[in-house]
């Protein structure tokens, strides 16, 4: 079974992207195939070099963990609007398109939106 996650919220300020990534990782740990597509402010979750206070979750590390076993795709238009370049992304994350999101949506058994 394949699950597609679509994340929209920023890396910090809300916990929606955090919770989406937690669930994606939990499904991967159960052997499920996972793709994650980040749109809008969620593209900031994949910016390399995040520094957070001790004891606070670090989305950069979470993104890397999910990307090791699945796809981590970012809306290119959303990246451009926020001035995020391909060189700033964590390893395993890559620029994508609405066409690719459409393909992943049609192919997925489940689509979860956070």
Instruction: Report the SS3 class of residue 7.
Output: strand
Extents of the domains making up the chain: 2-113
Q: For 26-35, how does the pLDDT look when each residue is reduced to its tens digit (9 = 90+)?
A: 999 999 999 9
CATH code: domain 2-113 is: 3.40.1260.10
Q: For 36-74, how does the pLDDT look when each residue is reduced to its tens digit (9 = 90+)?
A: 999 999 999 999 999 999 988 999 999 999 999 999 999
Closest CA to 38 of 66, 82, 7: 7
């Amino acid at each position: 079974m394949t699950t597609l996650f679509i994340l929209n919220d920023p890396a910090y300020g809300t916990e929606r992207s955090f919770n989406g990534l937690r669930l994606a990782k939990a499904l991967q740990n159960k052997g499920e195939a996972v793709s994650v597509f980040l749109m809008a402010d969620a593209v900031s979750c994949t910016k390399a070099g995040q520094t957070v206070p001790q004891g606070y979750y670090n989305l950069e590390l979470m993104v890397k963990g999910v990307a090791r076993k699945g796809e981590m795709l970012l809306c290119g238009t959303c990246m451009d609007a926020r001035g995020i370049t391909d060189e700033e992304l964590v390893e395993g994350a890559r620029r994508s398109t609405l066409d690719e999101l459409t393909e992943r949506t049609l192919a997925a058994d489940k689509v979860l939106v956070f």
